[in-house]
Structures are given as C-alpha cells and as structure tokens.
Structure 1
C-alpha cells in the first residue's frame, strides 16, 4: 500500500464523512429529474433513467471495476470527471475507499453528494470466478405490475359505428415488468405494455399486449466488455449520427451540453420507438475496443404502393399507439435493417472513436413534394459514418464529432468545458447540421426536434462564489439555413437563460430563473406568400424547498410564461403549486401530494412541471387552460418483498364544457386518473 495514497484517503474521509451521513438517495433522484429532464417533451419516458438510478442505489458501482460506462449512465456526472477518475485509478492504483472521490480533479460538492449513494469499493468476483450455479442460486428477481385508467370516458370509446375512427380497446393501461439480476454483470429484462385504447387478447392484439420488449445483458467478462441480445440502445459520440434512448441538452446543468455516450446497453424503457432490436457486443483489450451491432425490427408507418408495385413510406409513426383502425393498419408496416461497427481507441484521458453503419428499409421513403422538403431524405438505403473524440487535461475538457451521410450532407459538433477558476466554469458548444444531412438515429443537441438544418453556438458560465451560491447562465444563438414546418424562409433565433440558487445545506434552497427565447415563424396573416416574424417566449420562475425534519419536506414554485407573436396581444400564463413530501426513515408508509393552480390562455403559453408518480413513472405533464390540479401518491411496504403504490390525480378546469380534442375529448370540466402498482422482489 502506498503511503501517499493512504494519507489522501484519510484526509478525504474526514472531509466527506459528514456528506455521507446526510445523503438521502430518494431526494437526489427527484432533484436530478427536475434538473436534467426539464426541457424534455411532455410524452418523454423517464422510466429508464429512474430505473437505472434506483438500480445503482441497490447495486452500487464498483469504482475498482467500472470502465466508466456505468458512471455515465447516471447522467449527472460530467464525462471529464469520469475520465479524471479513471486516470486517477490508473496512476494511484485501486481505490481503498469511496471517500477518495473528494480529491479527484473536477469534483464539486453537489456532484459528490449525488454520487455517494451510487458507488462502492467492492472486491466481489466476476461470473467467470464465481460459477454459473452459484449465480443462479443468488439471482435477484423483481416483478412489477402497474394498472392505470382515466375515470372519465373519452369520446373514442363511445363510437360504435365501425366506419368511423374509434378506440378498439378498453381505457385500461397495463404494464408488466420483470427483471432478473444474476449479478451486477448479468441482467435479464422483459417489458409488456398495453396503452389505453388498445385491444387486449382480442382483435388485432390476439397475443395480448401491444408491446413486448426483452434483453439479456452481460458485461465485464474478460475481453467481452459489454454484450446485449434483444432490445438495446446504442449511444456514440455526441449523438450526431447514432443515439438511442434519453438524451439531455440545454438545462441548469451546463455539462449536459457534452453528451455522455454509454455505448451499448440494454433497452428497458417502455418507449416503443427509439431503440434497436438484435445483438451488439463490445470486445476490447488494452486501448482498443470494437463494437459490431445488428438490428432488425418493424416500424410503424404509412405505406402505400405505386402502380408498378413499389412500396412507398410517406410518414413514420412516432407515438407507439395502436388504438384506432388507422393506427393498427400502420403497426409494423415498415421493416428496418441496421448493421455496422464502432471502433474506439482510449489512452488515459483521450478517447477517439469512429463508426460506420448502414440502414435499409423494405419500402422507399418519399417526402411530399413541398419546397421545404427539398433536402429531406428520399430512398430506402442510407450509409452513415462518424468520427468523434473527447480529451481532458488540466481542467479543460474537449469534445466533438463529425458525421456524414454518404451521398449527401455533413454534421459537425465541437465544444469544451473549462474550469477557469475554482469558482468559475465555462462551456462552449458549436453545432452545424447541414440541411441535407440525414440519419435515422441522430439526437444531437439542437434547438429543433431533429438534428439537421441548424447551426448554432452556445456559451455558458457557472459561478460558485461559495458552497451555498450558484449562478448559471447561458446564451445560445442559432440559425436554420433552410425552410421548416410553418417557416417559409431561412430563420434564426436566440435562447437566453439565467438561474440563481441559494442553498442552506441540508435544510433548504431557493432558486430564481429567467429564460428568454425568440424564434421566427410564418406571419399569422392570410397572405399568398408568407413572411417570417419574430415569436418571443419568456419564462420566470421562483422555486424553493424546505426540509422541516427527517420526515417532512415542503416544495413550492411560482412560474409565469409570456408569449407574443407580431402585434398580437401579449399572452401571460402562470402556475403556482405546493408539494408536501413525507418519507419516514424506517416507516411502512410514505407519500407526497401537490396542489396546483394555473391559468394559461392558450397552448402557446403552456407550462410544464415535473410530477412525482409511482416508482419508475415520473412525468412532465402540460399545465394548460385555467384550473386546479392535485394529486397524491402513497406507498406501503409489506415486509421486505412487497411494495404497493397508489396514485390519484384530479384536474378541474374553469369555464369549459369539455376537455381535450378529437377522440380524447372528455365531456365536462373534470379529469381524474388512478394508478395502482405492485412490486415483488425475491
């Protein structure tokens, strides 16, 4: 044992022991959801991230065995810190204690508090050393069943005329989720899901659930670093060419601008769209690793046939819902094959990778003949290549990617994160996605929903004058070189953000946020040729959290949104809510509740806010129109094996005779939802 390492460890223990004693993992999970996912769309599925965080709470990451992938899966760690951690371990040898994290370059007190519940220093053996028989006996099983339903009847369930669009199934939602952990390196997962309105063991769903998903995942077996059979996600570089699953962008956590690619991992989300189905493996030794991958799956789409029998795809399904006859007709209508490989070189804090992959469809994509679709992909085959890197040295983290769709355009991403001072950090990010760049799997950081036809430059600062104060601000200037939906000319915009946070450690915190966004859209006037005009959205928020004692917490927010287009009157929306959270340290019961009052004149001034839910089901619903919303979540533990969750949510709207639109319309001014979930662990 090296003397200097022992001294470092002892000092770190003294500095961090208080933090460890005050760690409350469940609270950190909620805060992470609020900070990292707040810019995601309303229908995003957060279950994958929530499951991952809870899994690593119960199965901490071994700092002496990890290659960094598991740490990046936590989402809140900068990749520069992970690279520094690996370099520290290579230089000083195996970790003696988790408290050594305190002395690693780039660690912040907040990150350390979040990280401590998810890591350990363990010496347990791998599958090769333990033996399969022992693993099977020690396997941990988890079975979860979730039921949900909107109590009011929607219009789609009342239509009996078979010639009209209608919902073919019941309003019940059902999810069955099974996990088997033979060890921390072998995992088996199955998801079965039925959405509201989908048939169940009848009609088009004679096999029961609408969506089945499963995977077998193995890692850390000699040269076989990672391997998946079944459904999986693949994340490479900065997402310019290949990225499946969740990806975060601009938020109050600045280092989220540098994508944290995890390579291959099992796909455990209930989102039915963004994943691969087949097999992939990462094989490596020393500084090199190669990841071959293959996928074959059916995708939803609208398919027609020409006079000569050619299959034409005019659009792809993006919801995964199969409730109506038309949605059922498009279910699995397009076959997709994907194959390729990724090669990585890694040396200390340098990582370079290159990927090439081919996508083929059994039908030809044909975009509508509109001017804005001039550069949109047409065809049934596409080759993509990518070259990416990241490098960390002396407080500066560089990252980037260059991607190319053969026969068409390019995409470029470059950026840096730098520690200018112990209290000041800088982030820069440049992106250039050409209008003729194409990929079926790109999720690079962008202002628009798709990473093409956009150029932008982001600059951000994080200032920590003390351990209790944080100020985050950024400016993002962007331009769309070609036409877009509802924008009949090249356009531009800007996004400004500022957030000040003051924390009374362990007791309370308050934050003040302001955001200004301006983009250009077609004028609202009925003109033969549209011109673009500025559209301004502003948001202001004051939020706070107070810990009354070890059992009770309070959380409140006041938020306003402002929207203006051309000379139209200014729209002002607002939201006020208060949460009560009860989490006894060793109690059988726990829960939380919210009361919210909101008023937004239209969809343009809408406000999103994170809501607690049953386990693995956090969401960001839309607060829209004028009304009151409340919910309560309860959890009851029955011994060590069984947990039961119950949720009830009620929204009451003022001045309206119906809620929603189309087949989702509810007659009346109330909507109430219930959810029951049971989990068995054995």
Structure 2
C-alpha cells in the first residue's frame, strides 16, 4: 500500500535531521527513560499512568526541601536513597535550604540527577490541612477531570461473530476512561477512575453498571501522628519487594541504582491497571522514630472455578488481565474472594531503616495448578502467611540494603546488596538474590530474571562512570540460575544478562546514546522428541538513539535498533527498526505536538522490538514491532486557556506482504491497523 512512498518520506526526514547543525534537548527525557525501563519487564498494554501521574503532580506541586522526610523524593522513582540521606543530613547540620540550587553543595551529587530533580523540588511553605477549615477545601483545592476515548478503526474478527455458541466480543470496540482528582496541597487527595476496555459491554449485559472497572480512594497524610491514611484502593511497598510490593516496581535496566528498590510504603492506587493493588483501608502511624502500618483488603479476583470430588471450589490460576470481553472472561469475573490483612513496622533513625512485615492472604477457593512436573513446588491451597525483615543503611558513600522473607510452612527468599560511591565519578552496585523454589508470595516484585520471586539465584554487578557532566557510561552483568523446572524449560537452567550503554549530552542541546545488550537463557529445543532437551537461547540488541534541538520550537529524535535471536535447531532471526520523531513545542503557543515515522523488519516474533511512543497525557505506548512494515503516529495538543486541554492521536501500522493482522478474535483483514484517541482535560 504505497510502501515505497513511506520509505522516501522517511529518508527525506532523516536527511533533514542529519544536515542540521543544531542539537536537541529532551523535554521529557526523564519520563521516557523511566518508562522504557519499566516497559522492558512488563506487557505491551500495561498502563504506566501511575508513575506518569505522580511525576506530573510533583511537577505542578514541587516537594518542599525543608519539609520533606524523604518519602516524597522516593516516590519520584529516580532519586537514590544515598542522595536522600545526604540531603536530610545536610539540612539537619546546616539548617534549612535557601534555594533548590543549594543541592549542588551536596557531596557526590551527579549533575544529571540535579537536572532531572530541579523541576520537582522547591523551597517554601506549602498548604497544610491543619491550616484550613473544612469549608476552604473546595474553594482552595484543585480539581482535575479527564475523559479519554479510543478505538481501533478496522473491525476485528471478535466483533463480527454473532453465533452465541462461539467465543466472541460482547461489547463495542470503544475504549473509554474517565478520571477525576482532587488535591489540597500534598496532604489530601481524592481519586476516582472508571474504565471500559475494547470488547467489553457498556451499560448492557454483564456491565449493566456502566464501566467494567471502577477504582477510587481518599488519601490523607501529614496530620500529626497520622502519617498517611487511605480508604479505598491502595498500594503497599516495603523492603526489596520480596514479600509485599504492589503497584509499579522497577527491575533491571540502564538506571543501575534501581537495583535497590525505593519502597514508598502506603500510597493511594491511581492507575487503571486492574491488578497489582489492594482494596480496603490502611494507615501509617508515626510514634517518634517508629512507623506502624496496619492494613486490610477485600477484593474479588478472576478465575475459572471447578469443583473437586468433595464439592470444594478449586481454581487453576488467578486471572491477571482484567479483561471481560468474551463469555468465558465474563463467567470468570470476580469468582474468587481474596482477603489480605497484616501490618508493617519500621524504625527510622537518621541513615538507618529496619522493618518487618507480616500478613495473611486467604481465598474462598483452593488454588490447584495442573499436575505437571514443573508445578511440583507451586503453591497449592487457599491460605498463605508471609513474613519478612528488611534493612537499609548509608555510611560514607556506601548504601547497604536487603530483605529476608519466608512463606510460613514452605520456603524462603533473600536479597542483599550495596551501592557505593568509589570515586566522585564512579559508582558500584552489587546485588545477590536467592529465591527458594517453594517460596510463595502473591504480592512480590523483587529484582529477578524470571517472572516472580521464586526458583532463582543470581548475582548482579553494575558500574556507572561519570568522567564529566557530559558523559555517562553504564555497565552491568547479571548471572542467574533456575534450580527447578520452569514454563518451557524442562530442566534446571542458567543464563546471563549483560548491558552496556554510553551517553553523551550537550547541555540543553543534545543527547546521544549507544546501547548493547546480550541475554542468554535456557529453553526447550523446538524439535520434538521423547524428552525435551534444554538449549541456549541468545538475544542481542544494539541501539543508537539521538535527540537534538533545531531551535526554540522544533526538536528531533531518532533511533536505529538491531536485534538478533539465535536458538539451537532454529533459523537465526535478525531484525531492525529505525524511526524519526519531530517535536513541535512553542514556549507560549496553544498548539503543540509530535509525530513519528518508523520502518522495521523482523523475521518473526522472537526478534520483536519495543519502542517508547509519546501519547496523550498520562498515556505512554510501547507497541510491538514485528514483521515488515511502517509505523507512524501523530499527537496534537491544544490548550484552551490555562484550564482546559484537548489531545488528539492517530497511529497506524502498515505491514508488507500480509493479508491479515493479528490472530484469533483480534484478527483484522488486510495489512493495516489504525488507532485513534481523543482526550479532554479540565482543571478547575
């Protein structure tokens, strides 16, 4: 479909960028870097709005350096605990900050970190609930209402089927998301979300109540001994994520310091993801240096219910998609009741934090996985107790952290590590993990190569070198072993993950980076035989990324990426992708936007490539590039004064040499898939 025209257009844009003598500045380089690190470990359709919303909130309501205890800085997701400890110690020793740029006096400060941090911090008093009356909240608080609509323009197979005996989509292709926020400074937040996914019914059938998913919470904090209180949906993050960590969590990536997880404790849940949260009430109480967080949660989960010989309810797996489009998905909706309750206690004194967590998870159905050999150590039952102890401590440029967890009656999990400033320009990170094959937790997100905190041992080491404010070199290696069988791996296996990245930055002008990543893991051979043989699978990735500014209004961004997949007995796959972005963002104009055109070619799914895409506010996309084709999108934003915004997005894939896009109920006739999205926001 006019494929050559797209190639010519791409070459023209790339030549225009290459001939420019200007360099580019990144408006949201931090957000992109954080999002890409998350996306490498999560699914294509995962909602990243929780982190995006948090960063946007603190950009509009900066953190007071003279008031914070460090918890708000941890919420940003990119500020190392070692730096937070130095900040608090400096304030205690030298008095209050006079201006944010005083942070430059802190020992060991990375100029790149300072550049990212400055938009999110301030010096000055912020409003507090203790200073106002109830009647002032509505007049002095801020309201934020947002409505988002989207759909795929081509009709998928699941919407064409009318036979009630066949699997099909019961609702329309429309996607609708409504979001409301109320804030009074940092101390009060009311959140409401409502979402309908494509294919789900809306005010009909199984969703007579309208949206398929509702979420909400009221959050109050910083009220004397009440450090935080959430009624509704919330997340809990403690230690290194071995026992209890809900919401988003960073894994391995180019930000080496994220190997030490930044626990935020109790937070309201604001994402539209229908998993990874608790529902009920929780509070954090402060008694001097001791923090105590009791919590209780009651949630309905998805699962396919069956009955054993004694008539007891059993379920094979708990659903994790949150989708209720087909008759089967609707039948599995909310079939399992989950109760979770427990408490966390944490002692904080200067640079030392020690904590302990204990909780019980109980289901009204018994989990009974398939009788496969790899499931010999999988969780069976409907009741689980978890407990853990953790610590972190900083001393003279060294940050130590760790956690030990135990699922009562079964296994244990351990993680320990350190981050050390070996030199003003050189930092080291080490992390050792040992997760038992019979350790269980439904809420764990520790550093891991596998899909959970179970059946893994590994040692991670990373270096970050900053010879100057313009250069950064990152290197990490991670060697791991799986002592027991896994999905598609019918024997104990081992592997390695290596990443190196070099970045050069022209201050406020440009950024260029070169990344190489090599991954090796064991997997069952593709050839059929009486027994599965485990062979090595190699994935290699080479990426060159550049961003540069053409002037005060126009910026450019481009990337070239190669990927190589090799597995014994299979054909080697080599894929590539190149894209060119144009960013239009005038300082005082009402209209702004960005666009991309990309070419890609991958022989199959194994050599697929993911790439960050700009989207409407709080929505970030990481589509899957595979087969041969063109990817293009355009985003536009128009501001109606200071309180109202409208976003428009059009994105399309055009594939070469195919007659059908997708498979199963998602199949589309033809070689093109196009999506549109409209978003409206009103702040008042």
> Aligned pairs, how many?
661
CA distance in 1 between partners of 2:606 and 2:379 (Å): 30
Instruction: For 1:225-264, list aligned pairs within 5 A.
Output: 225-264=227-266
Structure 2 equivalent of residue 82 of structure 1 = 84
Q: Deviations over 1:316-345 (max 9, x none)?
A: 111100000000001111000000000000
Structure 1 equivalent of residue 424 of structure 2 = 422
CA distance in 2 between partners of 1:550 and 1:483 (Å): 56
Q: CA deviation at 1:623?
A: 0.7
Alpha-carbon RMSD across the aligned residues, in angstroms, is 1.3
Of 190, 193, 199, which residue of structure 1 is paired with 2:192?
Answer: 190
- Greater mean alpha carbon deviation, residues 483-492 or residues 507-516: 507-516
Structure 2 equivalent of residue 354 of structure 1 = 356
Matched residue of 2:206: which SS?
Answer: coil
Q: CA deviation at 1:35?
A: 5.1
Q: CA deviation at 1:626?
A: 0.7
Matched residue of 2:543: which SS?
Answer: strand
Q: CA deviation at 1:88?
A: 2.0
Residue 338 (structure 1) aligned with residue 356 (structure 2): no
Q: CA deviation at 1:37?
A: 4.4
Q: CA deviation at 1:449?
A: 1.4
Of 388, 392, 399, which residue of structure 2 is paired with 1:397?
Answer: 399
Instruction: For 1:138-217, list aligned pairs within 5 A.
Output: 138-217=140-219
Q: CA deviation at 1:127?
A: 1.0
Matched residue of 2:304: which SS?
Answer: strand
Distance 1:37 1:95, change over 3 A: farther
Structure 1 equivalent of residue 63 of structure 2 = 61
Q: CA deviation at 1:570?
A: 1.4
Distance 1:564 1:26, change over 3 A: closer
- Greater mean alpha carbon deviation, residues 124-133 or residues 226-235: 124-133
Instruction: For 1:438-477, list aligned pairs within 5 A.
Output: 438-477=440-479
Instruction: For 1:571-582, list aligned pairs within 5 A.
Output: 571-582=573-584
Q: CA deviation at 1:634?
A: 0.1
Structure 1 equivalent of residue 596 of structure 2 = 594
CA distance in 2 between partners of 1:333 and 1:340 (Å): 23
Matched residue of 1:132: which SS?
Answer: coil
Structure 1 equivalent of residue 503 of structure 2 = 501
Matched residue of 1:116: which SS?
Answer: helix
Structure 2 equivalent of residue 13 of structure 1 = none
Contact residue 247 and residue 276 of structure 2 kept, 8 A: yes
Structure 2 equivalent of residue 529 of structure 1 = 531
Residue 42 (structure 1) aligned with residue 44 (structure 2): yes
CA distance in 2 between partners of 1:324 and 1:355 (Å): 39
Matched residue of 2:527: which SS?
Answer: coil
Contact residue 36 and residue 253 of structure 1 kept, 8 A: no
CA distance in 2 between partners of 1:25 and 1:543 (Å): 15
Contact residue 545 and residue 558 of structure 2 kept, 8 A: yes
CA distance in 1 between partners of 2:80 and 2:621 (Å): 24
Contact residue 522 and residue 532 of structure 1 kept, 8 A: yes
Contact residue 37 and residue 248 of structure 1 kept, 8 A: no
Matched residue of 2:135: which SS?
Answer: helix
Structure 2 equivalent of residue 372 of structure 1 = 374
CA distance in 2 between partners of 1:46 and 1:641 (Å): 24
CA distance in 1 between partners of 2:422 and 2:57 (Å): 35
Distance 1:297 1:106, change over 3 A: farther
Structure 2 equivalent of residue 5 of structure 1 = none
CA distance in 1 between partners of 2:146 and 2:341 (Å): 33
Of 674, 677, 680, which residue of structure 1 is paired with 2:676?
Answer: 674
Q: Deviations over 1:66-111 (max 9, x none)?
A: 2212111111111221122222222223222212211223421111
Of 656, 663, 674, which residue of structure 2 is paired with 1:661?
Answer: 663
Contact residue 36 and residue 252 of structure 1 kept, 8 A: no
Contact residue 39 and residue 251 of structure 1 kept, 8 A: no
Structure 1 equivalent of residue 572 of structure 2 = 570
Structure 1 equivalent of residue 111 of structure 2 = 109
Contact residue 25 and residue 555 of structure 2 kept, 8 A: no
Contact residue 26 and residue 547 of structure 2 kept, 8 A: no
Contact residue 355 and residue 386 of structure 1 kept, 8 A: yes
CA distance in 1 between partners of 2:544 and 2:25 (Å): 25
Of 415, 419, 432, which residue of structure 1 is paired with 2:434?
Answer: 432
Distance 1:530 1:368, change over 3 A: same
Instruction: For 1:638-653, list aligned pairs within 5 A.
Output: 638-653=640-655
Of 126, 129, 147, which residue of structure 2 is paired with 1:127?
Answer: 129
CA distance in 2 between partners of 1:110 and 1:285 (Å): 37
Q: Deviations over 1:230-260 (max 9, x none)?
A: 0001001000011111111111110010000
Matched residue of 2:536: which SS?
Answer: strand
Q: CA deviation at 1:451?
A: 1.3
Matched residue of 1:546: which SS?
Answer: strand
Distance 1:436 1:546, change over 3 A: same
Distance 1:111 1:358, change over 3 A: same
Q: CA deviation at 1:29?
A: 3.0
Q: Deviations over 1:454-503 (max 9, x none)?
A: 00000011111121111101110000000001111000000011111111
CA distance in 1 between partners of 2:601 and 2:219 (Å): 47
TM-score, normalization by structure 2: 0.95
CA distance in 2 between partners of 1:499 and 1:134 (Å): 51
CA distance in 2 between partners of 1:32 and 1:588 (Å): 27
Contact residue 547 and residue 555 of structure 2 kept, 8 A: yes
Structure 2 equivalent of residue 280 of structure 1 = 282
Contact residue 409 and residue 435 of structure 1 kept, 8 A: yes
Distance 1:573 1:646, change over 3 A: same
Structure 1 equivalent of residue 18 of structure 2 = none
Q: Deviations over 1:261-312 (max 9, x none)?
A: 0001000000001100000110013211100011001011111122322110
- Greater mean alpha carbon deviation, residues 313-322 or residues 475-484: 313-322
Q: Which protein has greater RCO, CA pairs closer than 8 Å, 6+ apart?
A: 2
Q: CA deviation at 1:551?
A: 1.2
Contact residue 508 and residue 546 of structure 1 kept, 8 A: yes
Q: Deviations over 1:532-567 (max 9, x none)?
A: 110100000111111111211100000011001104
Residue 33 (structure 1) aligned with residue 35 (structure 2): yes
CA distance in 2 between partners of 1:583 and 1:280 (Å): 42
Structure 2 equivalent of residue 12 of structure 1 = none
Structure 2 equivalent of residue 544 of structure 1 = 546
Matched residue of 2:207: which SS?
Answer: coil
CA distance in 2 between partners of 1:298 and 1:107 (Å): 46
Q: CA deviation at 1:23?
A: 9.8
CA distance in 2 between partners of 1:183 and 1:388 (Å): 32
Matched residue of 2:271: which SS?
Answer: coil
TM-score, normalization by structure 1: 0.95
Q: Deviations over 1:583-610 (max 9, x none)?
A: 1111100000000000111110000000
Distance 1:30 1:488, change over 3 A: closer
Contact residue 516 and residue 538 of structure 1 kept, 8 A: yes
Contact residue 239 and residue 403 of structure 2 kept, 8 A: yes
